[in-house]
Structure 1
């Protein structure tokens, strides 16, 4: 990965949030419509509150017999990791490897701490060397299942 690249250089912009007060059913429909496997959760202040994945909805809600229309997305936010838009892209890779995550929200700290994009595996694949891709996969997917 080019050391000069910043997180903002490799991210996908135009990220849509599911509201913390919206239901998991709403989140699932958004994921379907956007063809994504995860969404950031934003509060009433439009600030990032968490992340939710399709897997979260299935394992923590549907598989437990809970109606996804009755659960607010914000209740599932879990541990939150993000990166400053001006951080080195290699730092994004390190955060994703360390926490074994496949999606990393990008926050512009200088612009009111607003969510401006998302770094995904696809973004990394376009910007990583073959060696870095192999290392990322071995760290993030090791024992995953």
Structure 2
């Protein structure tokens, strides 16, 4: 049985809640990522910030990204998947919540990310097509 741990990109980059939106943008630029987990001082996952969040919530509102706390960009509740959950559960969670990137946790610790690209690389084409169709619905 294939698990989230099998398909994830390990060692996820993240931004701390006490860093800024500008710090998040620099990490995204350096890594080529469009989304970053946000972790607190306790290293527990607090949410996820996307490049779109920075544009809409910070730049689009005329706020200073160098002063805007990254922790204020997180969503109310992070959608996550357990490292040992099956890929069926990964697909169901991504589809249900309409997310293209999913933080993978082991206990309370962030251990990786599963993106649509990871699914496409490791699962059969029909499965990937079903996920893309579910994520594209209502757009």
Q: Distance in 2 between matches of 1:56 and 1:139?
A: 22
2:23 is aligned to 26
Q: TM-score, normalised by structure 1?
A: 0.91
- What SS does the aligned partner of 1:30 have? helix
What are the ranges of 5 or more consecutive residues in structure 1 without an aligned counterpart?
none
For residue 63 of structure 1, the aligned residue among 60, 69, 91 is: 60
RMSD: 1.0
2:92 is aligned to 94
- 2:115 is aligned with 1:117: no
Segments ≥4 residues shifted beyond 4 Å: none
Q: TM-score, normalised by structure 2?
A: 0.95
Matches within 5 A, 1:64-83: 64-78=61-75, 79-83=77-81
Residue deviations 1:2-36 (CA, integer Å, cap 9, x gap): xx001101000011210001000000000000110
For residue 11 of structure 2, the aligned residue among 14, 36, 46 is: 14
How far residue 57 of structure 1 moved from its aligned partner, in angstroms, is 0.6
Q: Distance in 2 between matches of 1:57 and 1:128?
A: 32
